[in-house]
Structure 1
Amino acid sequence: MVSSSADTASICACSRSRIRKVVQYAVLSRAVALLLGAVSNAIVSDYDSSLSVILSAPAGDVNSTAISALCNRFARGLAQVVVRWDAFYFVHIADAGYVYEQEHAFFPLLPLLMRMLNSTVLLPLASAVGRQLSLIVAGVIVSNVSFVLAAATLYKLGAETMRNERLAYIAALMYVIAPSNIFMSAVCTESLFALVVFLAMLFIGRRNYLLAAGCLGISGLCRSNGLVYAGFFIWNMVIRGDIWQGYAANSGNRLVAALVRRMLAALLLVGLSAAGFVAFEVYGRNRLCNGPAALADVLSKRPYCTSTWSTIYGFVQAEYWNVGFLRYYTLQQLPNFLLAAPMIALSLAGLWTYLAYDPVRLATLGWIHGGRSLGAKPDTADAVAAAYFGAELLPHMYLWALLLGVATTTMHVQVITRFFSSVPAVFWFAAHVVAKAAARKEGLASAQASRSKRWASWIVVGYFVGYGLVGVVLFSNFFPPA
């Protein structure tokens, strides 16, 4: 018993140490990204000067002290790095609310948090630099704090899902250097959404379903794809084969009753998870379809005003951004497909690697296993890499495959790197590749195989770091892609 207690204490201490390191590296990575963005912005001329409209706007009643001037200079320098592309919409929504129809493509959680910070903690800053610049600083705080917390949450989620803290730690570090780098620090929703859905998946794994549904309900106020993650309730409560083992000896009626109860509970949780998205949709319809007469006359014939099943979000994406099935498949978009190719290749490799390990398990929703066992000792590097093949990752693979299909057929494909910043399996597979390369040091692979694994590791890490750093320079100077 003493030995067992000592082992448990040692494991807990190791876990806390790794979380601290993940947090430290996450903070460091945000500092590096913002500093690199500031330096590149100072050296390179902006591709687009739209930001000057905001920065030259009257600041209102702003103090003129030396400290205020210093704060103003800092806030303007920060804005020149982080307010690009979608960030303009979030800043405008936080400042003025939803004014234009197309702004309903951008969800209200981030602007609400920006307003909340601006009217409380940052109130002195707002009086020094003006409302808009203060809102931008608030957005940066929300994004960067969310990123650090998301990295720590991903570590916990990986440790509990893969049952291997070392691989979870590597995956969290891969998240820290994600190729969507600068988007995680800018006034965008990537970090905030990742935090909320990582928490939701962590709670689902712990069977804290109400907390998970609350998180996913909040995620629906952040991004539309939060709805997809509600499928984990169906998986955990209805589909998983191991939950029915205790009912094996029951009569048919009792089994049917249990199935009905579980299905109803899962559907209720899915409904709660959709509450945020539905609330935003109701707000939008009320404002656009039943608003001022002049506005209602123009918009009353919109499909979302005339049909129950049409959504404002879907209409706006198609109308203003030409989002739709295969709409992006044109010759002029070929460069964007090339930019997306590394993440698509990584995703295909990750899904194929998991499928090849036990195709029977994948094809039968985990009800039948192909008889393969991880089989390695728990303290070997090979076992760390093998944790990627655990059965608990199965629903994450289905999610990854679904989102890959959507990203490559329906969306602007170049956003796939930041779209996948909230998909844990991306980072688990990257960690698996790195861990396989580490296994060679323990003599677990032939020379030729270890050389191949080493190259694969360098390619993955190089892609994460290289794409992320180049993205910082391009984003901070308003160059595509976005």
Structure 2
Amino acid sequence: MMLKERRDLYLPEVIWFAVACRVLTLLLQALLNLLIPDHEADAFTPPRLSEPNLCDWLLEWLLGGLSRWDAEHFLFIAEHGYLYEHNYAFFPLYPLSLRAMAEVVLWPLQGVLRLRSRLLLSAVLLNATFSVLASAVLYELGHVVLRCRKLAFLSATLFCLSPANVFMAAAYSESMFALLAFSAMWQLEGRQLWTSGLLFSLAASVRSNGVINAGFIVYSQTKHLAFQLQAGAGCGVKLPQILGRFSSLAASVVLTFAGVSLPFALFQFYAYLRFCEPDSDPEHTVPRPLLQLALEKGYRVAGMNGVKPLWCSWSFPIVYTYIQDTYWNVGFLRYFEPKQIPNFLLAAPVIVLGLWSAWLYTTTNPQLCLTLGFVRRRAEGRKGENSDKPEVGFCCSSVFVYIVHAMALLVFGTLCMHVQVLTRFLGSSTPILYWFSAHLLHNYEPLLLWDEDPSVQNVAPLSGKPKPSISFPGSIRGQVSKNPIVGLLLNWRMCTPLTRCILGYFLSYWLLGLILHCNFLPWT
């Protein structure tokens, strides 16, 4: 009972810290946006169709820094729909949510705020809610996977200070995607396959990389079958039973990919109907200022001049691939140019952390990685039977699939995307960034002395050396201490160089993102 009470104390701490970080983010972006003049960026800036009033100006002054860069696309889509061809690079669930909240929840404000202002306010409120909930879900996911409440607590608090922080607050889809993806992973760990599949499907309607999450369900089902076969090997399982289980697995794999990929497929089909079918969207339905913008910038509008885009004639007419290629020059090794070296340096910390986490995990668990985790490990703790293999913490076997997922995203993002977006790409898609950083702090920072807990080994898993017994300021035996991240920051000079590097990376990107992004300066 005491352990349960102690565990439950962590979640409120995570939530309060997340709320405090959201409030601080909003205050800082308003202040920085006021003090620093905006850069004249060559970005998507559609004209406003209605004259703003005093309340609109006030809201823009307070929250305008969160409507920069791609946020303009999401707000534009929520207000006008998918008008331009390049709008289809942004998936529909997030802008639909903004429109629903602006029209329903914020409907009483329509007399004082125009639609775009209500959409911006909706984005700020929704993202604040999504990011706080995502931190709570990440804590629960970490508790289940890492089997260590304190590592889960550390990783959740690090998520609140994510290097992708500004994108969690601005009118971007990162917060919503993180909440859906982490929730689906958490449900899958509890063998809630249908709930997990639904959440993964919703995540795929927020961001395109959500489709790859189908691999989690496929891996879970395959691993479950492999363990069943191993358990039944000594019981003389017959061939028809084995074939039946494989057939069931194959059907499950097909259904999983179909279900998670369905939002992506439907969205592409919708784009095809708009742009490739005759008279689908005549020009006169487009407001004149927006049509003029399309003519000036070369944006394609559905039905304009009766000319179908090139991608309509493809065997698989996928507008998303066409947009990434034509509008943003996204493709294999296209970003590997000398002039992009600053962007590679900007993404270097997350690349190093990602590769380091994979190297550490594979060198600690070589046999597990070679067998893909499909071979049931012998009971630990028995003399001579893998007693050196930790089943608690970052290097436990249940982390394997998350490492593979993170590496797939890292390799694809480095080779095929604008590399500077890796920070927010990984920061909103995988828990590995936070789990590994928490692992390094937990095992190699002497200032962190946790209360004794049966679920935590008091030995650094790699070195085998006992963790130093140095009192942590603010730690109170028998209850959850004050936030350890805050404690480390207050004792910065006493921290190890590794801790300074990790926290310095998180905090510097947290702050720089607010300074640069909110003033139309390029960032991750």
TM-score normalised over the length of structure 1: 0.88
The 5 A counterparts of 1:184-195 are 184-195=168-179
Contact 1:360/1:370, CA 8 A, preserved across alignment: no
CA distance in 2, matches of 1:82, 1:436: 37
The residue matched to 2:327 in structure 1 has which SS?
helix
> How much does 1:361 deviate?
1.0
The residue matched to 1:28 in structure 2 has which SS?
helix
Cα 1:447/1:462, change in 2 over 3 Å: same
1:409 to 397, 415, 438: 415
Contact 1:150/1:191, CA 8 A, preserved across alignment: yes
> How much does 1:454 deviate?
2.9
Equivalent position of 1:396 in the other structure = 402
Identity rate, percent: 30
> How much does 1:325 deviate?
0.5
- Give RMSD over aligned pairs: 2.9
Equivalent position of 1:97 in the other structure = 81
Q: After superposing the two structures, state which structure 1 stretch, 26-35 or 10-19, moved more.
A: 10-19
Equivalent position of 1:80 in the other structure = 64
Equivalent position of 1:345 in the other structure = 352
Equivalent position of 2:338 in the other structure = 331
Equivalent position of 1:216 in the other structure = 200
Contact 1:139/1:186, CA 8 A, preserved across alignment: yes
Contact 2:148/2:392, CA 8 A, preserved across alignment: no
Structure 1 or 2: more helix by fraction: 1
> How much does 1:271 deviate?
1.1
Supply the AA of the counterpart residue of 1:43. L
> How much does 1:166 deviate?
1.1
2:245 to 237, 258, 267: 258
Contact 1:220/1:226, CA 8 A, preserved across alignment: yes
Equivalent position of 2:232 in the other structure = 247
Contact 2:391/2:397, CA 8 A, preserved across alignment: no
CA distance in 1, matches of 2:400, 2:495: 24
CA distance in 2, matches of 1:337, 1:289: 38
> How much does 1:58 deviate?
2.5
Alignment of 1:461 with 2:503, yes or no, is yes
Contact 2:272/2:317, CA 8 A, preserved across alignment: no
Equivalent position of 1:472 in the other structure = 514
Cα 1:415/1:298, change in 2 over 3 Å: farther
CA distance in 2, matches of 1:189, 1:383: 38
CA distance in 1, matches of 2:190, 2:360: 27
CA distance in 2, matches of 1:348, 1:372: 29
CA distance in 2, matches of 1:141, 1:212: 25
Deviations 1:151-210, CA, capped at 9 Å, x for gaps = 101111111111111111111011110001111000000000000111111111111111
The 5 A counterparts of 1:12-161 are 12-48=4-40, 58-59=50-51, 69=54, 71-161=55-145
Supply the AA of the counterpart residue of 1:223. R
Supply the AA of the counterpart residue of 1:22. V
CA distance in 2, matches of 1:53, 1:220: 27
Contact 2:184/2:200, CA 8 A, preserved across alignment: yes
Cα 1:446/1:11, change in 2 over 3 Å: closer
The 5 A counterparts of 1:314-463 are 314-368=321-375, 387-421=393-427, 422-438=429-445, 445=465, 454-463=496-505
CA distance in 2, matches of 1:92, 1:287: 18
Supply the AA of the counterpart residue of 2:348. A
Q: How many corresponding residue pairs?
A: 458
Contact 1:351/1:401, CA 8 A, preserved across alignment: yes
Supply the AA of the counterpart residue of 2:499. S
CA distance in 2, matches of 1:383, 1:79: 50
Cα 1:128/1:333, change in 2 over 3 Å: same
CA distance in 2, matches of 1:395, 1:20: 29
Q: Where has structure 1 moved over 6 Å in runs of 4 or more?
A: 49-56, 369-372, 382-385, 440-443, 450-453
Deviations 1:102-145, CA, capped at 9 Å, x for gaps = 00001111110111111111112232121111111111111111
The residue matched to 2:65 in structure 1 has which SS?
helix
Cα 1:280/1:441, change in 2 over 3 Å: closer
CA distance in 2, matches of 1:299, 1:17: 61
CA distance in 2, matches of 1:52, 1:167: 41
> How much does 1:20 deviate?
1.0
Deviations 1:339-369, CA, capped at 9 Å, x for gaps = 0011101111111111110112112201358
Deviations 1:430-454, CA, capped at 9 Å, x for gaps = 1101101246766954899x99993
CA distance in 2, matches of 1:372, 1:466: 43
CA distance in 2, matches of 1:53, 1:319: 19
CA distance in 2, matches of 1:393, 1:299: 50
